[in-house]
Structure 1
Amino acid sequence: MSTRLAVGDAAPDFTLSDADGKPVSLSDYRGRRVIVYFYPAASTPGCTKEACDFRDSLADLGDAGLDVIGISPDKPAKIAKFRDAEGLNFPLLSDPDKEVLTAWGAFGEKKMYGKTVTGVIRSTFVVDGDGKIEEAQYNVRATGHVAKLRRDLKI
């Protein structure tokens, strides 16, 4: 089981490939607040709903000084197809080795349909401009999650 992050912790830095194979690092966002969310699989119903909710809220989040990054274990080609199919306008990053997922506590044991399985734990974080965890939410629901996050952040 991976360790969970808490408010005030340093956000584990990462450099991962985006849908086009270009490297993106968390440190690229220093000085800005960024929402980092982890989702299980591109093009699945729940992950599509969540990504589209972020897409549809991106202008308001941007106005509040927040960028958005989505991370899954999918390969860049699958992420690119997902991005293009849904018109997603924020970086989606590939973590096929699940090292970043694990470092952020977003990979491990979870309950699914009453059974304990190992997989991606749908999680969302807000990282402040200094690279510290401002908000840490684990086991979030795909539907309605972005609206709740906006309420929590008063956006």
Structure 2
Amino acid sequence: MNNLKVGDKAPEFELLNQDGIKIALKDFIGKKVILYFYPKDNTPGCTTEACDFSQNYDRFSDKNAVILGVSPDSISSHEKFIFKFDLKHILLSDSEKEVAKLYGVWGLKKNYGKEYEGIIRSTFVIDENGKIAQIYSNVRVKDHALKVLESL
């Protein structure tokens, strides 16, 4: 599971966004980064979470924060998801699950008694210097975006 702790340097990564453009963590030095991992585009919990972050986009921007959503979905899936719900923030495609594993959020999950591997819904708040300021594990989506916003 996750060995990262508050105060650790956030692992560097580079992934493609919904437009096929490479986005790297280091692109955001000097800003706070809200890095949230979610299982799948267009599913009820993930849609709620994405819409909540998007609805509060300007409030995050006012606090010098950028929002990055990460899931194993494809670039085209992200593009459609953003269009369908008019999302304002960046979604990154982690199809190989490399970044999810780097952050310790790819692991064993249980649903209706079945065990399977998947994304453990988690959010990392990374400060302006690239250090982890907060970690939210096994996130419940209700009011999560507001809790993260209040913590900034």
Q: Does TM, normalized by the shorter one, top 0.5? A: yes
1:52-67 map, 5 Å: 52-67=51-66
TM-score of the superposed pair, with normalisation by structure 1: 0.93
1:129 positional shift: 1.1
- Report the counterpart of residue 142 of structure 1 in structure 2: 141
Q: Counterparts of 2:111 and 2:132 in 1: how far apart (Å)? A: 27
- Report the counterpart of residue 47 of structure 1 in structure 2: 46
**Secondary structure at 1:55 match in 2:** helix
**Secondary structure at 2:23 match in 1:** strand
Query: Could you tell me which amino acid in structure 2 is paired with residue 15 of structure 1?
Result: E
Q: Counterparts of 2:135 and 2:116 in 1: how far apart (Å)? A: 22
Q: Counterparts of 2:146 and 2:93 in 1: how far apart (Å)? A: 25
1:4-153 map, 5 Å: 4-153=3-152
Q: Counterparts of 2:37 and 2:112 in 1: how far apart (Å)? A: 20
TM-score of the superposed pair, with normalisation by structure 2: 0.95
Unaligned runs of 5+ in 2: none
Query: Could you tell me which amino acid in structure 2 is paired with residue 100 of structure 1?
Result: V
Aligned residues with identical type, % of pairs = 45
1:12 positional shift: 0.7
**Secondary structure at 1:80 match in 2:** helix
Query: Could you tell me which amino acid in structure 1 is paired with residue 140 of structure 2?
Result: R
Unaligned runs of 5+ in 1: none
